[in-house]
Every structure is written in C-alpha cells, then in structure tokens.
Chains A and B, each alone.
Chain A
C-alpha cells in the first residue's frame, strides 16, 4: 500500500497533468472529466490475506498507476462479505468508494436473504466482473467414489446420506452443491463449517464424503495423493487440474457453477465514471504481470464491461433464486 502511494508521489504529478491534458492512454470513449481527483478506496469485505484481498490490491495498484490517484484498500470483514457490501451500498455514488464483491455478497445473498439492510442487486452499479474461478468436486483419495456418476448413483440409492462440507450457508461452494442435487435429482447432506479449512480437515480425516473446493487449494492435496477430483464446476477443463472432466461432461449436462469477483460502485454512480474505471481495469488486465499472477492463483480473466456485468449478475441471481427456492433455503 505504501509503495503504491510512494510510487504515486514519484510519478503522480506528471502522470496526472498528462492524463488531464491529453486524456488517458486507454481506449476510453467517454472518460469522466476530472475523475478521479482524490484517492479511491476499494473495500474488501473480508479480512486481509484472502483471494479477494489479493485481487483488490493488485487491481488497486494498476488503477493507481493509470488513474494517477492513490488507491487505498480497506478490509471490512464480516458475515460472509455482507457487512462490507452494506458499507459501500450506503456510500456516496461518486466512484471514490468501491467494493470488491463476490458471488456470495452480490448475487447469492439476493436469492437467499430478505433480512439484509441493502439490496445486493439494485444498490450497486457493477464496474466489471474481473475474474471467475470454477470449483472442484473432490473426495478423499481413499473413498470409493471414482466419478461423478458414482456419486449420483450412490446419492440416488441413499437419499440424505452423501455429505458435502462447505465454508458456510450461502457461499458459492454451498450453492454448487445444492445445484448438483437439483440437477441430479438427489438429496445431499449439507455440512456447513466456519471457513473452508475446517471442512477440508474433515474431508482429509474421512468424516465427510465430498467438498466443492477452491481449485488452487485442492490441487495441492490432489498432487499429494490425499484427495481425488471427480469434476470441475466450470464449462471447460481447468489448467490446474488437467485431465479432470467438467461435471457437465461427467454426467450432469448443463451443470455450471463458478465463483467470481468483481468491482462494484454504489448505484447511481455516473456512467462516465464507471467507464473511466472500467477502462483502467481493461488496461490492467492486459498486463503480463496480472495475467501471470491470476494464472498462478487459478483465476480465469473475465474483464466484463459494466453492461455485460449487469446482465451477468441478473442471470446469476435468477439461477441461484431457482436453486434456493427448490432447496427451501430462503431466510
């Protein structure tokens, strides 16, 4: 963070003058005039150290360099990301307070909850869905399940028996499991934990049957021969899990559930401000530096523009509402 600021002091004045007179180098149709003229805050609705934090800091660094203003990352964790999201939803819609939102805080919660003090959809103007990452359906290496087909057959013969652990109600891992049950016509036992590490512990210990887990984290255990991946939840093979089929290919045609992360402004933020921010993100995603980092982390670069992002969120909310209603999870 300090380095971002320091770099700004070194480059800042020159870059700012340049940007204001010549316009930004990025291909921006209607960049907002005079924006930004003060530091921008990106709120991360989780404690430091997680993947959302990493993404926000890396994107923040690029935004600072191209917009000529310092970008401060603020961690406001709590209640699965909804505390931080609520804070941004209530902030001024001027583009200076942004949210690094995730599937849970900005789509699933809209389907699942009526008791939030903000509306996860209408209170935000998406800037860009930046990255997505599929999950992996993993079982213990000693388990009898060799394929997605095995799981479906078993779950059909033994309703309410097959257990899958998740980091909590309303997480993308939970929804991936509920969608799996809905699409396959089975009933699984959802075993929620406080965080994915505790679920992983029980999976390694053989006390739960499966988990829809983060690709990067689970790939370590798969390599070590402790877990086996039966399928990935995305629409194509993932480069960190070569040879593992998608769940759609492996027996549930049409199945897809990915988690994603994106930058959101409060609703009512002017379109030209959104365009300026999106231009900076688009440029950042072209850099080899960020692409390499994302590859290492297992992310797929999305970089959707504001309009596409809005449509994408609407689709997501519709999809999860269907799943939540079918499973009777509405709070």
Chain B
C-alpha cells in the first residue's frame, strides 16, 4: 500500500468521533501524569490498560499511545518550574530549565519545550510513515557488540556533561554504575549486591532513583526556606512566551539534532527516551561554542533533550509495529495490549492490520496537534503554580512522588527507596556532588555490561568483535574522536608551544 492510500485510510480511522475522543483523553491524561512528579507514562499506562480491555483495539491503542507521548510533553514543566522532574526522562531538563525559570523566563522555557516536543514528534512520525520497515530491518542488524559501542559512545559523550569538579562527577558516574549492578545478574541468575534484601532482586527502580535524587532532594533542600522566595507571578502575556528572533535561531539546530538523535535511539529496541535525552544534551554541550552557558539556563540545553525524548517515544513504534519487537518498556506494555485484543504484533502487522497501523500513525498527528493546542494555554496556569506557597505545594508533590513510585509495582519497599535516595541526594547537594552522573551511570551501566557480556558469550571471548562488526567499528571510532576532541585542544596548545623551539 502506498503512503497516500495509507494516510487516507488512517484519517478515516483517526478522525471518527470515538477515536478523537480517546485520543483527547489519552493526551490529556498523558500531559497530566507528565506534569505530576513521580507518576510517569509506565505507571499511568499500566493503570489504564485494564480499562481498555473493553474498548475497540484501535481506540485502546490510540488512547494508550496518547498517554505515552503526552507524558513527554508534560514532563518538562515541573523540571523547569520547580526543579522537580515530572518524569524520570525529564531529569535532564532540570539542568537548564530551572535556571531559566529563576531568570523569570519560565513561560518562554515551557513554550520552547512544547515546540521542541512537537518538532521531535513530527520528525519521528515522518520516519515511521515513510520508512518504518526499512529502519526496523536496519535496527535488526544491531547485535550485542553494536549496542555496546553505541552505549559506550553515550557514556563517553555524556562524561563531558557536568559543571564543577570533574573528579566528583567521575566518582558519581562510578557510583551510578555500582547502583546499576544491584539486582539479578542476567547471565547467571544470581542475586548481586542485594544484601539479603529480596525486594532488591530486581534492582533499584529507575523512577525511585530519579525521583529521589532530583525530586525529594529538592524538597528537602527547600525545607525552612522563608516563604518570601516565592516569585510574584503577574499576568502571563503571550508575548512573554514567544521566543525572539535570536532565540528561535538558537533553538533551531539543537531541536533538529535532538530529533535525529532521539529517532535513532528510539528505533533501537531496548533503549528509550531517558538515554535519548541524555545523549542529545551531551552532544549539544560538546559541539556548542559556549559550553560554559550550559547549566545556567541555555535554551539549547532544554531544546535538544526535549526534542529527543519525544522523537524517541514516537520512533519506538518503528520496531514494534513493523517487527513486533518493542522499542522500550512502555511500548512493551502497549504490545501486551494488542495481544490482549487478539492482534499479535509481528512482521505482518502493517499488511494484515493496515487500518490499525495507519489509524494509529494518523492519531499521532492528531494527538500532537491536540497537545500543542492544549499545552500553550496551560502555560499560564502552570506558571501560577509558583505562587502556591511551598508549605502547601511540597507536601502534595511528595505524596504524588510516593504514589507514583508505589503504583509502578504495588510495592511499599520502593517508597522507602525513593525517600532514601532523597536524603542521599540532599547530602550530595550539600557537599557538591552532582546527581546527573549518577543517573547516567545507573541507566547506561547495566546496558553496557549486559551487551558486553553477551557479545563475549557469542564471540567466545574474542574482543576483536567490537571492531569487526562495521556498525560497532563506526561507533567505537566516534567514541575515540570524542575523547580526542577533549584532549586534542590541550595537546595542540602544548605542541604549538614546543614548535618554535624545534625550529630554533
């Protein structure tokens, strides 16, 4: 079926009143859970899934997918306004979003992230429409060695990310890697570093870690602040939100680069929006002419990751819909929803269920437009949140965080974990240890280890496998380039100082 035919068929499905209604419900719920700290897309979809058992399968999927990408829009709002990530993937947006809000540019920052999100989504949806099977076949070529190389590049790129002492940052990456080791060892099934605590058999939950280190720590840090820190919020005019011509220029390329990185990461099964936004931020900072502005309210620092996480979420549908292999944990639940409705995702899905495939894709357009329309008028309302006194706001936020962390697995233990990481995060702040590298090590470490060991298992211990696979070799080369770009300027400076001596 050609694309035009598909679009027509998809619009017929996506523009029925019930599809529109479920799409609207989905994206609204998504925005809402995205904004609420702690409750993310995975928890919301898990809760909503049973309700969809009785819906038409296409409507059910449209709604659940809407929650998924809608949450990516909302996630940045709390990061910007309160320095509390709305979803685990939006933690990186705190770095530059919150400083922008402190400079009184909160409306602008939220407007920009809405635009970034829309562009990122659009970019990835076009890829899904035009090239889904092609991209999925390419993604199938990625083996364990290739994954290892991609993730290594991510780790190398991101290691240049933080402000302050590089030794403290490095120490925190290692700490994150160590935290990621806790849990069941994939290769042997042994419980590692669980210290007899059975609840740790699955390791720490990423939501509990991110919400603790970023969210709860922020709340603790604000205990005892005089009520006077509240910002006086006047009337928000549309003019305050709109970027100037110069600001549009600043965000254009980071947004597009973020979209591309997000689409790539999203299309690779087993990764996800968290990795996409980390990588996009790292790359942006690396290639920026003004890396020193990052962390102090650089618009590029919110544009790239926000575009990346939305692109990643939409691109995650590429392997799911064209091969039946879920792009990340949330899409895996969506795939479960399809199976419940008697549709088994596999390589024939697009041909056998063209109405569902195209209906879903067209609903992405509808949903993203709805989100843009929904989110821009809401900016004024969100910014008003700042005028709510901390003593009322923070207890509510704390409850939401606990609710969100609990609802992921219905496990009380996770609440203690999030509170523990909250206290730890606060102590780290007081002593100048950054939290982002911990998150980085925690997310990338287990993937790095798993793929390294699998690559070794399959190659019978031959390390050359990382350079023999062309994909892996390319990414290993990029990692080397990255490292070289860090050391070369210093090296060149030293060489040029020596050069005159040599000519004497």
Q: Which residues of A contact B (CB under 8 A)?
A: 1-3, 47-51, 53-54, 57, 73-80, 82-83, 86, 112, 115-117, 163, 168-170, 189, 191-195, 197-198, 200-202, 204-205, 207-208, 216-217, 219-221, 223-224, 226, 296-297, 329, 331
Nearest-neighbor residue (CB-CB) of A54 within chain B: B340
- A205: chain B residues within 8 A (beta carbon): 140-143
Whole-angstrom CA separation of A112 from B410 in the bound complex: 26
Which one of B141, B189, B198, B348 has the highest number of Cβ atoms from chain A below 10 Å of its Cβ? B189
B140 close to A77 (CB less than 8 A): no
Among A78, A116, A195, contact of B409 (Cβ-Cβ < 8 Å): A78
- A82: chain B residues within 8 A (beta carbon): 198, 201
Among A3, A51, A200, A226, contact of B54 (Cβ-Cβ < 8 Å): A3
Contacts A79-B201, A163-B458, A198-B270 given; indicate if A49 touches B348 (C-beta within 8 A): no
A191 close to B454 (CB less than 8 A): yes
Contacts A57-B50, A78-B411, A207-B144 given; indicate if A50 touches B269 (C-beta within 8 A): no
Whole-angstrom CA separation of A47 from B54 in the bound complex: 19
Distance in angstroms from B302 CB to nearest chain A CB is 31
B140 close to A201 (CB less than 8 A): yes
A217 close to B324 (CB less than 8 A): yes
User: Considering only CB atoms and an 8 Å cut-off, how many residues of chain B contact the other chain?
Assistant: 50
Q: Which residues of B contact A (CB under 8 A)?
A: 46, 49-51, 53-54, 140-144, 184, 186-191, 198-199, 201-202, 269-270, 319, 323-326, 332-337, 339-340, 342, 344-348, 409-411, 450, 454, 457-458
B348 close to A115 (CB less than 8 A): no
B46 close to A201 (CB less than 8 A): no
B269 close to A296 (CB less than 8 A): no
Which one of A57, A82, A201, A204 has the highest number of Cβ atoms from chain B below 10 Å of its Cβ? A201
B347 close to A83 (CB less than 8 A): no
B325 close to A200 (CB less than 8 A): yes
B50 close to A73 (CB less than 8 A): yes
Among B184, B201, B325, contact of A197 (Cβ-Cβ < 8 Å): B325
Whole-angstrom CA separation of A205 from B53 in the bound complex: 33
- A163: chain B residues within 8 A (beta carbon): 458
Whole-angstrom CA separation of A204 from B54 in the bound complex: 33
Contacts A191-B457, A205-B140 given; indicate if A170 touches B189 (C-beta within 8 A): yes
Whole-angstrom CA separation of A48 from B340 in the bound complex: 10
- A50: chain B residues within 8 A (beta carbon): 336
- B326: chain A residues within 8 A (beta carbon): 197
Additional 13 contacts, C-beta under 8 A, given A79-B184, A79-B198, A207-B143: A48-B333, A49-B332, A49-B336, A53-B336, A76-B409, A78-B202, A83-B199, A163-B458, A194-B270, A207-B144, A217-B346, A219-B344, A220-B348
Contacts A83-B199, A194-B450, A220-B347 given; indicate if A208 touches B46 (C-beta within 8 A): no
Distance in angstroms from B450 CB to nearest chain A CB is 7
- B335: chain A residues within 8 A (beta carbon): 49
Which one of A51, A79, A200, A224 has the highest number of Cβ atoms from chain B below 10 Å of its Cβ? A79
Nearest-neighbor residue (CB-CB) of A117 within chain B: B198
A49 close to B269 (CB less than 8 A): no
Whole-angstrom CA separation of A169 from B347 in the bound complex: 27
Among A2, A168, A200, A217, contact of B51 (Cβ-Cβ < 8 Å): A2
A83 close to B201 (CB less than 8 A): yes
Distance in angstroms from A321 CB to nearest chain B CB is 16
Which one of B54, B270, B332, B344 has the highest number of Cβ atoms from chain A below 10 Å of its Cβ? B344
Q: What are 23 contact pairs spanning A and B, CB under 8 A?
A: A47-B333, A47-B409, A48-B46, A49-B49, A49-B335, A51-B339, A76-B409, A76-B410, A77-B202, A78-B409, A80-B184, A115-B191, A191-B454, A191-B458, A192-B187, A195-B332, A201-B323, A204-B325, A208-B458, A217-B346, A220-B345, A221-B347, A223-B348
Contacts A83-B411, A192-B187 given; indicate if A217 touches B49 (C-beta within 8 A): no
- A296: chain B residues within 8 A (beta carbon): 342
Distance in angstroms from B118 CB to nearest chain A CB is 28
Whole-angstrom CA separation of A197 from B331 in the bound complex: 12
